[in-house]
Structure 1
Amino acid sequence: MKLILIVDDEQDYVNIMVQLLEPEGYKTLAAGTVKDALHLLEVVTPDMLIVDWNLPDRTGLELVKEVRAQKKFRKTRVIMNTIRDSESDQVAAYLEDADLYFTKPIKPEIFLGKIKKLLE
């Protein structure tokens, strides 16, 4: 079973993600801050991170940069999922090695299809 860590401070959105992912056979964990995510990442190596940009303590992009700097996460897929929709934000995410960039709200079928493809 593939493990997906959702990093988002909006609990309602986390719940939506869990309701979308778990019926598809994915195990989920959630963190509301970069600090909480980093603590979880000390003990688990998820197959995927779904990261919001705007988090209370630091940006999701900073988290992606830290994750990508660690060898144990080289195979971990990263999706930025945020309300920020500028081209410059998308370019910044891809330059930090995000695999995909989705703006909220997502289209569930497309989002799931991309996740399945990335985790093959």
Structure 2
Amino acid sequence: MSATVLVVEDEKSISTLIQYNLEKEGFKVLASETGEEGFELIKKNLPDLVLLDWMLPDLSGIDICKQIKKDTKLKSIPVIMLTAKSEETDKIRGFETGADDYVTKPFSTKELILRIKALLKRVKPSLTEDIVSFKDIKIDRLARRVYRGDKEIKLGPTEYNLLNFFIKNPTRVYSREQLLNQVWGNDIYVESRTVDVHIRRLRKAINLDDQDDLIRTVRSAGYALDSQ
């Protein structure tokens, strides 16, 4: 599982436990202990799923969920609410706000991970399937092979990771900073122009024989896997 999960939880012990178990399952995990920082991380990183505590020291999880679902760039991100509130009225309020699932504390980490996987499989199948495609591009994730039509394309590891990231959300435009965070990682210092170099290599590799250019450059915004 190569999905990125953002955990917004102010109880350090719970956050650490969730992060440890998610990383064991192959997830990339970001974490925040406050609502304001969590929302900034959502806008900056566009995670594949948000685990959102209801009770936070500043903004409430309900308020953050409302903001996510009102933003056209963020509203497709699935949200699981984590809360000690177990009353039916509270659950209804959470779902009315736009939450996709609701987990009551205390919870089993195994159950939480199963719910995360089930939700991602439902709303973002391109994250979890072994073979994914866009137009005539196909990625076999188990074999780490890429095809355009019936022709196999040889990619370097960074170009493969870029394409595999793009195909999770085709047509979505990602800034250089977002691509650096998601493909290279937050802990690795790379200049933003390095993204341009690898995009050119990826474009050259997949656009053979006068085929349609499937890497769209959006001036002053970034790049997308999309038809021109």
Q: Under a length normalisation based on structure 1, what TM-score does the superposition of the two structures give?
A: 0.95
Identity of aligned residues (%): 32
Counterpart for residue 104 of structure 1: 105
Deviation, 1:44, is 0.8
CA offsets per residue over residues 13-41 of structure 1, 9 Å max, x none?
10010011111111111111111012212
Q: SS in structure 2 opposite 1:98?
A: coil
SS of match in other structure, 1:89:
helix
> Which residues in structure 2 correspond to 1:64-79 (within 5 Å)?
64-79=65-80
CA distance in 2 between partners of 1:52 and 1:37 (Å)? 10
- Secondary structure in 2 matching 1:72: coil
* Partner Cα distance (2:30, 2:70) in 1: 21
Matched, 1:61 2:47: no
Structure 1, gaps ≥5 residues long:
none
Q: Could you tell me which amino acid in structure 1 is paired with residue 31 of structure 2? A: A
Specify the alignment match of 1:22 in structure 2.
Answer: 23
Between the aligned partners of 2:108 and 2:40, the Cα distance in structure 1 is 30
Q: Within 5 A, what are the aligned runs for 1:3-14? A: 3-14=4-15
Moved more, 36-45 or 92-101: 36-45
Q: Which has the higher contact order (CA 8 A, sep 6+)?
A: 1
- Report the residue type matching 1:10 in the other structure: E
| Corresponding residue of 1:39 | 40
What is the rounded CA distance, in whole Å, between the counterparts of 1:107 and 1:60 in structure 2? 20
Query: Structure 2: which amino acid aligns with 1:5?
Result: L
SS of aligned partner of 1:43: helix
Consecutive unaligned residues of structure 2, counting only runs of 5 or more, are: 122-228
Report the count of equivalent residues. 120
- How far apart are residue 113 of structure 1 and its match? 1.2
Q: Which runs of 4+ in 1 moved over 3 A?
A: none
SS at match of 2:16: helix
Equivalent AA in structure 2 for residue 40 of structure 1: L
The alignment's TM-score, normalised by the length of structure 2, stands at 0.51
